[in-house]
Amino acid sequence: MRFGTPYDEVYAESAFVPEKESRLSVLANAVSYGTGTFEGIRACWNPDHQELYLLEARAHYERMARSARILGLELPYGPDHLARLTAELLRRNGVRADAYVRPLLLQAGEQLAVRMHDCGTRLYLAATPMPDDYIDRRGVRCMVSAWRRTGDAAVPNRAKVIGSYVGPALAKTEAVRNGFDEAIMLTGDGYVAEATTSNVLIRTGERWATPAATDDILAGITRGQVMRLLRELTGAVVEERRVHRSELYSCDEALLCGTAVLVAPVIEVDGRPAGDGHQGETTLAVQRLLQAISRRENAGHPEWTTPVYGAV
């Protein structure tokens, strides 16, 4: 099975049902306008433990609740209950490999009026395999996209809004068609924001930096983990600040991080080598450590993971 191919069962509204039965009307408000919010949660398989671990499930559902609040919506359950439903979904599908869970809170009512009120919401949870080739973790070649990141005054970037991903989708296709792996998007006034589905961190000398939450990014949960691990590994405190485009060209090391990506070294930006054009040693150390923590192959940060089968 490939990434994006759903497992047989999904959670829809208030029950587990066959995936083929969980359908939206073509007149659903979310289909026309992208009105809703979503999350992505990794599940990491450890064959030695014969256990599947959810990575930061509670944090993702806490963010989803905040996103819903910003949109004027409400999640029907709290984060702990949603984490339990997610584990049950994976057990019902017998998932014993790396997987990706997609929770969706949609305006599902058949209302074609452009609005957020009186449309009716529906909660879905689905899962798909998560192969290793989602992105090349050996090194990513990026271009700075002509498409800018939407400003928070237009679409709230602190909310993971479904419709706000049109811009990143355009940027990703632009990058791939121009021979690159990924796009980096700028703010409306020309500062670095983020990649299409991941955050950006750079190192110059001993100092690490990442765009601040006020620069139209989604402040990722993996971003927070990486900042924590950099501090633990090197003592470096990552500065959250405005990042100039030219810093992408002059930095000594750069990385992307996100739920699907985890951690990937950037080796090129706009045809220029990032650093020396090779994988950054610190990036690789953080990459290895986070992968090990996510499978509980490393004893660090057990609070970040939740066992799926041990929870029965």
The DSSP line for 30-95 is: HHHH--EEE--EEEEEETTTTEEEEESHHHHHHHHHHHHHHHT---SS-HHHHHHHHHHHHHHTT-
- Token output for 48: 């030695």
pLDDT along the chain (312 residues), means of 10: 87 94 93 97 97 98 98 96 98 97 96 92 96 84 97 94 97 98 98 98 98 96 98 96 98 97 97 96 98 97 97 50
Spatial contact of 306 and 59, defined as CB atoms under 8 Å apart? no
Amino acid at 295: R
Residue whose token pair is 């490999």? 97
Distance from C-alpha of 27 to C-alpha of 50, rounded to nearest angstrom: 43
What pLDDT sits at residue 311? 52
What pLDDT sits at residue 134? 79
Least Cα distance to 181 among 279, 268, 295 occurs for 268
DSSP label of 19: G
The pTM for the full model equals 0.95
Helix, strand, coil content of the chain in percent (nearest 5): 30, 30, 40
Give 158: exposed, middle or buried? Use CB within 10 Å, 0-12, 13-18, 19+: middle
Buried b (16+ CB within 10 A) or exposed e, 276-288: eeebbebbbebbe
What pLDDT sits at residue 137? 84
